[in-house]
Amino acid sequence: MPQNIVIIGAVALGPKAACRFKRLEPDSPVILLDKASRIAYGGCGIPFYVGGDVADIAGLQSTAFHMVRNPAFFHDLKGVEARPDTEALAIDRAAKTVTVRHLPTGREETLAYDQLVIATGSSPRRLPIPGMDLPGVHTVGNLDEAEAIKNAVAAGKANAVVVIGSGFIGLEMAVAFADMWGLPVTVIEVCDQVLPGVTNPSLAGIARHHMEEKDVVFRLAEQVTRIEGDGKAERVVTNKGTIEADLVIVSVGVSPNSTLAKAAGLAVSDRGGILVDATMRTSDPAIFAGGDCVEVQNLVTGRPVVLPLGSMANRQGSIIGDNLAGGDSRFPGVVGSGACGSSTSAWPAPGLTLEGARSAGFDAVSTQVMASEPGPFYPEHAPDVPGAGGRARHQAGARRPGGERLRRRPGRQDQHRGGHAAPPADLGRRLHRGSGLFPALRRGPWTFERPRQRRRQHPGRPQPRHRRGGLRPIVGRGRLLRRLRHRLPRTAAR
């Protein structure tokens, strides 16, 4: 029997859930709402649009076949009714209705639903300091803001840039301004390293050194107190000095958009994330939620976290689409890994830093491993960045006394219609240089493997390469891909 599905939020998870559900139940109507005018885009690509790697902003909305994901695309090809410029005002759980407002006209409407999906995402945090509302001060939250930033730079209205915050988006925006536009850029960070809480100091130092070669200036362990200017931003004042700037980018994290869910009486954590179970259901069985607005479990520490990642949102969208159609797909949790970078290098985040492991109760140590891919004879050979390991049971690359090495334990995959046990959504991805697929087999859960005993070989026969060191070989690229293909669920592989 057809059912009415309403999805609030149309950036990453919403379109994924809508399209997945329509494949399973093509006769059921789906309404996709978003208060922004542009929908279904890759927010992680905003710095690359500002930096010119993506020439047209429509490229962030385009498929691999250069089709723009606009309302006509969803209507004609997916059978989904997409409504941009439409804000959800309230959810009536008892009546199973959503009150919405069409922003251009102000007209309000009530939509009935059988099942509801909340994919309201997150919003950039704003600093509680004077001057945040001055013209020239921007956050990086959607395509409209990205377009305004690029237009200001292209029109010559920016002569010096200050980026407040050195997380993923902050560093990528700094690279975009310095590398593409040749503007003087200063990054201000309240912590004593870049990428704080994301990676260890050695990797952070590599990222900082790479950016300093592009003339980016860093001011670490410094706190912004106010932004000053006469009618527009002209300078940033910190506890250690003043920096002249007519363009200020504030990138100090995000907060979950859970106000609508909280007003409807759904369970929300102290961090602001909507509480969901493994099937992505909220405290109301008829309402699902996912993406930046929910709280999920960290598979390493076992603690709840709010992790705003586009890859995670897409994976959860596929799971929600299955479950809307009566499936039993489950999202086990996250490792916390990710990556950012520039056109020439990538800076990975392992998911659990040494400090994070120790604070979680692990007896962890840190080491560095230098590796190269491809081989040193290859024309574009470049060494991979060092990785962190430790004695903690869930740390990639960890070793125990006696030469034991952490190894991925084989798992099971449920084989039934519309259901699968999804692997973590943030498994390593392929970076610009060096493969992110290799660490995918080296993340928890973990077991231990002792060194293999050397086998006696005939004196005249060449010894296999992996037996010379006495350790079981790391899988080759072909075996790695076959093993990944076997382990990943069929729905996720598509």
Number of H helices, E strands in the chain: 12, 26
Q: Report which DSSP code applies to 36.
A: S
All residues at 6 or more sequence positions from 45 whose CB lies less than 8 Å from its CB, including other chains? 54, 59, 60
Domains of the chain: 5-123+255-324 (3.50.50.60), 126-252 (3.50.50.60)
Give the pLDDT of residue 484: 56
336: left (phi over 0), alpha (psi -120 to 50) or beta: left
Phi, psi of 21 (to 5 degrees): -65, -40
Please, how many CA atoms are within 13 Å of residue 218, restricted to the half-sphere of its CB? 25
Query: Sign of torsion, CA 330 333 335 336?
Result: positive
Give the pLDDT of residue 340: 81
List, in sequence order, every beta strand (DSSP E) within 200-354. Answer: 216-219, 224-228, 235-238, 241-244, 247-250, 254-256, 274-275, 287-289, 294-297, 304-305, 338-341, 346-349
pTM comes to: 0.78
Instruction: Give the chain's residues under pLDDT 50.
Output: 384-422, 425, 427-458, 463-475, 491-494
Cis bond upstream, residue 445 (ω within 30): yes
- CB-based burial, 31-53: b 16+ in 10 Å, e otherwise: bbbbbbebbbbbbbbbbbbbbee
Cα 281–chain centre separation: 21
Give the pLDDT of residue 380: 54
Q: Are 399 and 369 in contact (CB under 8 A)?
A: no
Q: Are 194 and 218 in contact (CB under 8 A)?
A: yes
Instruction: Give the Cβ contact number of residue 97 at 10 Å.
Output: 17
Our CA angle for 89, 258, 100, nearest 5°, is 15
The CA distances from residue 11 to 62, 279, 319, in Å, are 12, 21, 16
Give the pLDDT of residue 398: 39
Please, how many CA atoms are within 13 Å of residue 303, restricted to the half-sphere of its CB? 12
**Residue 446 and residue 465: Cα distance in Å, rounded?**
26
Tokens of 369: 């491993």
**Residue 130 and residue 71: Cα distance in Å, rounded?**
39
Query: Sign of torsion, CA 312 252 210 355?
Result: negative
SS (HEC) of 199-244: CCHHHHHHHHHHHHCCCEEEECCCCEEEEECCCCCCEEEECCEEEE
Give the pLDDT of residue 370: 66
Q: Are 428 and 314 in contact (CB under 8 A)?
A: no
**Residue 338 and residue 436: Cα distance in Å, rounded?**
10
